[in-house]
Amino acid sequence: MTLEELKGNLYEIQKDFIEKAKCVIENNEIGIFSSPTGTGKTISLLLSVYNYFIPPKEESNKYTYFGLNSENKKLMEQLFGQS
């Protein structure tokens, strides 16, 4: 599944989470989010920060996962095909 296909299969609650999280990041604010169990909080947050993990062009095959725990690092690698 591609990133675009994944984005097309999100629930409205996930799309709303991503939009609000991006707004918080863009405005350099602190956000507190809550969502019921099973609504995809982890994938929503990872998709919210995806653009901040784009590598420089000279290192296009490397992503930086600073600050992610090992489980979320593995999830990012699976989602975006990078290691």
Q: Which of helix, strand or coil describes residue 2?
A: coil
Global pTM exceeds 0.75: no
Cβ contact 44:21 at 8 Å: yes
pLDDT tens by residue, 24-64: 988 989 999 888 898 889 889 888 887 776 655 555 555 55
The domain limits of the chain are 3-80
Phi, psi of 18 (to 5 degrees): -60, -45
